[in-house]
Chains A and B, each alone.
Chain A
Amino acid sequence: MKISDYSENELVGLLKRGDLLLDLKPFVVRICSDIADMAHDISLMYADFYTRPVESFSDFHVSVMRESGVFNWIKPRARFFFDGRPSFIPLPESQAFAMLEWGLNWCVAAHSHHYLIIHAAVVERGGRAALLPGQPGAGKSTLCAGLINRGWRLLSDELALFDMENSLLFGMSRPVNLKNASINVIKQFAPETVMTLPVSDTTKGTVALMRPPRDSVQLASCGARPAWIVLPNYSAGSQPIMKEQGRAETFMLIAEQAFNYDIHGAKGFMAVGDLVGRSQCHRLTYSHLDDAILAFDELHSGSER
């Protein structure tokens, strides 16, 4: 069944019992929560995802629970648990869904060393993937959100999973994490997108999550061949400049942005080499989302010619 096939009340029940098994290809996550708004946010963001029967195997058992204690009567807080063990500090209850998202990212990044996991957004068009690595603030989530509203398929805005056996990129097609000014930028750019209510005062500022496009969710289990690595560089007032980036430099950047590069040893070195070797490497400086998307479309059509 799809999440959209459940009523919100049914979801509340499943979450309370910890019987919600969400299929985030390639992972299955079992979620438990007693937070009032969790069912609403899940039904909003994961509408097009499938659930799995309760007796299935789950990769990660997670829960987001209200903290007990007098202090929490005044200012309710929630906490993320990984298989029964608290794994983050408690946060205000309004951040519960965002915390679930961050917690899931951590679960994947810390336990899935059959992939090389890179801190980067990934989008795809025509079977070819563009990897957007970058420091926080470089605009990769915004650019990713823009691209997937203009014909590119979403793999991930945060975690690129590189399968070292077949050189394909995967990404789960989960909700896109938008921060601060980019929330309004995307609302204006694509008014039809569905977002959670913005939550202010998180460690990342104001945060809202954007529902992934249905087509992307349906194709989530299809990997994409790496074709481009584009380093986004938002610079206010700048003309769009797509510049070729040296491979050695790109290699170092990818290695640095890979969560488990060191764990793979020589294999990780070869994998980054493989990924960079298969990709055209660019650096895109931009100030307007439309310019940036045009530059991506040119990359794509240029490669078809």
Chain B
Amino acid sequence: MRDLIATALMDSSLLLGLSDKEWDLLIRQGRRANLLARLAYQVTEKGLIDQIPHQPRLHLVSALRMVERQNQAMRWEVQCLLRGLENIGVEIVLLKGAAYVMADLPTANGRAFSDIDILVPKHAISLVESQLMLNGWQGGHHDDYDQRYYRQWMHEIPPMRHVTRGTNIDVHHTILPESARFKVNTPALFEGIIPLPGYAGLYVLSPVDMLLHSATHLFHEGELENGLRDLFDLDSLFRNFGQTSGFWHRLVPRAMELGLIRPLHYAVRFCTMILHTPIPEEVINVVNAGKPPVWASMVMDYCYARALRPTHESCSVSGTSLARFMLYVRSHWIRMPFHLLLFHLTRKALRRSTTRSWDAPFARDAT
């Protein structure tokens, strides 16, 4: 069964027939899945916003206002970033949210953003890091283990935070951890980058690579709090780029070249299965090359059908917690070899039990 929020995003005209009780559920699911603003954007675009009952409409308006503000803040933050990095002659590639916003992609409409992710060549990473420090960004992880965890095993340096603005930036040198089971052809990734018009020194990934990165990110993720939102991102990228010439032809060969055919397979499978994303038949057939063995395929179907839903009580069915747990374990399993994993998780568990803090005013929340 499809959740109300997914159904509503797929066909906004359904909204006009909802009862109060259904609106109540829709707003809750949308809020939890971080999809409320996207829904608000869609109904505003279609001119339906004024036909929505007063109470739920205000929640849509509120969510959209928040996201528009984040969008604006993101543009400003990129300006600040560029000012800090423009003279060092390094190609700075914006990833994910920052890329969607700066490249004016429809995927950014009604999409909430917080951190900026950038990709820079590995040889330039210390230069970028020191330049960011000179411009007010600071690393937060000071202990030796965290430093080693990031620098030796991961694909990024520890997240940095700006001292006055409080904004975060993640600096990556590739798109999968160094220790991961799948290896990405990073040099090939850099060959395909596209300059961002009007911003000298800033780049985004090519459409095909952007989609592959989005898929790789979602299907390596262990905590799928925003799983459905990320699936809608993929859906939007497929629909948008799918109309440009050559996209579908380049997609599969490029996935092979970068070593990302498996995540592409999952993206195609779950986008078509859950969101009915229009993908050409021949692409679906070829992408099956990335299919895991039958047993694994069945397990993945079981898990993602449950995990790519809002983390709301109304979307929980039998097996949801198990599915989420298995995907969490899987994400670690494919992120690093077993001995490292064992060490890392043990340490994480021990640390959590000793550093639990009760004085934070709010536990994590939806906003």
A positions within 8 Å CB-CB of B: 28, 55-59, 61, 82-89, 106, 110-114, 262-265
Closest to B19 in A: A55
- Of the stretches B59-67, B332-340, B345-353, the one at the interface is B59-67
Check B62 against A113 for contact (C-beta < 8 Å): yes
Check A112 against B62 for contact (C-beta < 8 Å): yes
Taking CB atoms, residues of chain A closer than 8 Å to B313 are: 84
Closest to B61 in A: A114
Assuming A84-B312, A114-B61, is B21 touching A55 (CB within 8 A)?
A: yes
- Of the stretches B24-32, B116-124, B127-135, B228-236, the one at the interface is B24-32
Check B62 against A114 for contact (C-beta < 8 Å): yes
Taking CB atoms, residues of chain A closer than 8 Å to B20 are: 55-57
Check A82 against B365 for contact (C-beta < 8 Å): yes
Check A83 against B59 for contact (C-beta < 8 Å): no
Among A57, A106, A111, A262, max chain B CB count under 10 A is at: A57
Closest to A82 in B: B365
- The verdict on B144 contacting chain A, using a C-beta distance below 8 Å, is no
Counting from the closest, the 4 A-B pairs by CB-CB distance are: A113-B62, A57-B20, A113-B65, A263-B69
Taking CB atoms, residues of chain B closer than 8 Å to A84 are: 312-313
Q: Size range of the interface on B? A: 20 to 34
A-B contact count (CB 8 A): 70
Taking CB atoms, residues of chain B closer than 8 Å to A106 are: 362
Closest to B29 in A: A83
Check B312 against A83 for contact (C-beta < 8 Å): yes
A184 to chain B, nearest CB (A): 29
Assuming A83-B312, A87-B365, A114-B61, is B23 touching A262 (CB within 8 A)?
A: no
Can you name 13 A-B pairs with beta carbons within 8 Å?
A57-B56, A59-B55, A61-B28, A83-B366, A85-B365, A87-B365, A88-B362, A88-B363, A89-B359, A89-B363, A110-B365, A113-B65, A265-B72
Taking CB atoms, residues of chain A closer than 8 Å to B58 are: 112, 114
- From 223 to 277 in chain B, residues with beta carbon under 8 angstroms from any chain A beta carbon are none
* With A57-B56, A89-B359, A111-B62 already in contact, 18 other A-B pairs whose C-beta atoms are closer than 8 Å: A28-B55, A56-B21, A57-B20, A57-B23, A83-B28, A83-B32, A83-B312, A85-B365, A87-B363, A88-B363, A106-B362, A110-B367, A112-B62, A113-B66, A114-B58, A263-B65, A263-B66, A264-B69
Check B365 against A111 for contact (C-beta < 8 Å): no
Among B23, B61, B363, B365, max chain A CB count under 10 A is at: B363
A138 to chain B, nearest CB (A): 21
SS class of chain B's interface: helix, strand, loop or mixed?
A: helix
B47 to chain A, nearest CB (A): 19
Check B359 against A85 for contact (C-beta < 8 Å): no
- The verdict on B17 contacting chain A, using a C-beta distance below 8 Å, is no
Taking CB atoms, residues of chain A closer than 8 Å to B367 are: 110-111
A113 to B66, CA, bound (A): 7
- The verdict on B187 contacting chain A, using a C-beta distance below 8 Å, is no
A114 to B52, CA, bound (A): 15
- The verdict on B343 contacting chain A, using a C-beta distance below 8 Å, is no
Taking CB atoms, residues of chain A closer than 8 Å to B359 are: 89
Taking CB atoms, residues of chain B closer than 8 Å to A59 are: 55, 59
A113 to chain B, nearest CB (A): 4
Q: Which one, B21, B31, B55, B358, contacts A89 given CB within 8 A?
A: B358
A84 to B316, CA, bound (A): 12
Check A86 against B66 for contact (C-beta < 8 Å): no
B339 to chain A, nearest CB (A): 35
Q: Which one, B53, B69, B361, contacts A262 given CB within 8 A?
A: B69
B193 to chain A, nearest CB (A): 32
Among B19, B20, B367, max chain A CB count under 10 A is at: B20
A301 to chain B, nearest CB (A): 37
- From 24 to 61 in chain B, residues with beta carbon under 8 angstroms from any chain A beta carbon are 24, 27-28, 31-32, 53, 55-56, 58-59, 61
A28 to B20, CA, bound (A): 12
Taking CB atoms, residues of chain B closer than 8 Å to A89 are: 358-361, 363
Taking CB atoms, residues of chain B closer than 8 Å to A263 are: 65-66, 69
Taking CB atoms, residues of chain A closer than 8 Å to B312 are: 83-84
B323 to chain A, nearest CB (A): 18
A83 to B24, CA, bound (A): 11
A111 to B358, CA, bound (A): 24
A288 to chain B, nearest CB (A): 35
A61 to B128, CA, bound (A): 46
Check B66 against A58 for contact (C-beta < 8 Å): no
A112 to B59, CA, bound (A): 7
Contact flags B71-91 to A (C-beta < 8 A → 1, else 0): 010000000000000000000
